[in-house]
Structure 1
Amino acid sequence: MTQHQTQSPQFFLTAPSPCPYLDGQYERKVFTHLVGDRAPEMNDLLTQGGFRRSQNIAYRPACESCRACVSVRILANEFKLTRNMRKVIQRNSDLIGAMHDAEPSTEQYSLFRTYLDSRHRRGGMSDMTVLDYAMMVEDTHVDTKIIEYRKRGPDSFITGKGHGELIAVALTDKMADGVSMVYSYYNPELVDRSLGTFMILDHIARTRAMGLPHVYLGYWVNGSRKMDYKVRFTPQEHLGPKGWERYVAPSD
């Protein structure tokens, strides 16, 4: 019997496990591998279809009794800053974000561990070693970048690089129609800076500067307080049964 190689990805289904967002629920995921020359093209298609990337895996929820996870993307070209967002940008005007190839560093891992130990001590990533972190950054077959945010130095405008200590980091995929924020973390002691919000605003500005329409934020879970921040960045679209549709916030 002759075997023919197929270009179509193979999909797999995980076993049920407790949902990290909604108490009493169980999650399952459908996933496939993103490897080879077609990985960037496949990542674009799957992200547009509601998948997320983790290392060389693309996955999306496939829960049997719940549809709470909704894919969200910001319409970068139509985005308007709120008054509070302008204040966040002003508070962080002393920072500069430098984009690099996806290469890990000990300085990144130190900040990553501080962030996890403060914000996600009991999360699924809490026991990640420096080697695990390196794999999270390096194990990619798509166009992945690291953006490091540091305080501006006296020569920042000349070199394009920051000067001070590392304050925040974003792991980001560049795609044909925008960017996908894979993972971000920051110094948890700098609460007043609202660094999570600032990094999203910076990605919106970068995406608009590239002439691309979308910033993919991953999943919003209605009913999960830790996900509420995602719907503040409007206008945005949510992926539903009819495809991507403009999100309209419920009235009070």
Structure 2
Amino acid sequence: MRHTLPLAPQFYVTAPQPCPYLEGRMERKLFTALQGDGAQRLNDKLSKQGFRRSQNVLYRPSCSDCAACLSARIDVSKFAPTKSQRRTLRRNAGLERRATSPWATEEQYALFRTYLESRHAAGGMADMDAFEFAAMVEETPIRTRVVEYIDTATGDLVAVCLTDMLDDGASMVYSFFDPARASDSLGTHVILDHVDIARESGLPHVYLGYWVPGSDKMGYKAGFSGLEIYVGGAWEEMRDPDDYSAQAHPLSNDPIAEQVADIALPDGMPLRPSRG
């Protein structure tokens, strides 16, 4: 007899730890397990409310004294490439996109290590070994693709993106690329190509993860037209990036119980009480 895991998600809060984006801040995450037959529906629904996926977990920032992290997505219908972005597309015209099932390879891992050592040597993923990398790619209960970019002249793998296919968009979970080709702006190219993926799939959005005002690491996301950010429980078209502050008074953040109570779940899916 087949048994499925409970459909009712339960939410938890992580212990505070140093923020990777803003120096001197502490971060805390609200999260729930992504499991059971309703995993795809839950991921679709919560992604629209600022959550992101990491393997079998959905999370969003829930810091006690800061609300700087804002989920960002591109409205494909309003996107138009800048002159610089059009040059990026021309520079990378020799790349071939290959979308595959979520299966990790040695070639992907070698590129991933090269990328980390060049760009994020002190980051949280710096010590990730091949088995942990495989888990990041392969442990997904939803519709996920590995999108590879191959240099057709050399056959080299130059960029990879782990991408979730939602009911309203393509969600870029994690991407990495060859740092030796910095002048090719491969990171920008991957985002631009995901706009094409969304259009080809008839999907209205490309989810980019979090944009953090005041963080140089995340500043590039504000350079894409049609950008929307999730603020105060709703998506809005991004205004001037300087209008958004990285500051938030502690009392402006709702208690965890209220945050959980305000989460909309898929129809027919009950909510279990949150736990700290």
Partner deviation per Cα, 1:20-67 (whole Å, 9 max, x = no partner): 111111000011111121111100111111001000011000100000
Partner deviation per Cα, 1:122-170 (whole Å, 9 max, x = no partner): 00000000000000000000101001101126xxxxxxxxx60111100
Residue ranges of structure 1 left out of the alignment (5+ in a row): 154-162
The structural deviation recorded for 1:235 is: 1.2
Structure 1 pair 227–195 and aligned structure 2 pair: CA distance change class (3 A): same
The structural deviation recorded for 1:250 is: 4.8
Partner deviation per Cα, 1:152-197 (whole Å, 9 max, x = no partner): 26xxxxxxxxx60111100000010011000000000101100000
Question: Where does structure 1 differ by over 6 angstroms across 4 or more consecutive aligned residues?
Answer: none
Q: Is residue 116 of structure 2 the alignment partner of residue 125 of structure 1? A: no
The structural deviation recorded for 1:208 is: 1.1
Aligned mates of 1:22, 1:250 — CA distance in 2: 16
The corresponding residue for 2:48 is 48
The corresponding residue for 2:239 is 248
Structure 1 pair 250–59 and aligned structure 2 pair: CA distance change class (3 A): closer
Task: Report sequence identity in percent.
Answer: 50
CA RMSD of aligned residues (A): 1.4
The corresponding residue for 1:156 is none
The structural deviation recorded for 1:251 is: 7.3
Aligned mates of 1:149, 1:134 — CA distance in 2: 19
TM-score by length of 2: 0.84
Instruction: With a CA cutoff of 8 Å and minimum separation of 6, indicate the structure with the bigger relative contact order.
Output: 2
2:150 aligned counterpart, secondary structure: strand
Aligned mates of 1:95, 1:6 — CA distance in 2: 44
Alignment of 1:62-211 (within 5 A): 62-152=62-152, 164-211=155-202
The corresponding residue for 1:59 is 59
Aligned mates of 1:6, 1:182 — CA distance in 2: 25
Structure 1 pair 150–244 and aligned structure 2 pair: CA distance change class (3 A): same
Aligned mates of 1:13, 1:151 — CA distance in 2: 43
Contact 2:7 2:37 in 1 (8 A): no
Aligned mates of 1:236, 1:119 — CA distance in 2: 25
Partner deviation per Cα, 1:224-252 (whole Å, 9 max, x = no partner): 01100011111111111151111112579
Match of 2:222 among 212, 222, 231: 231
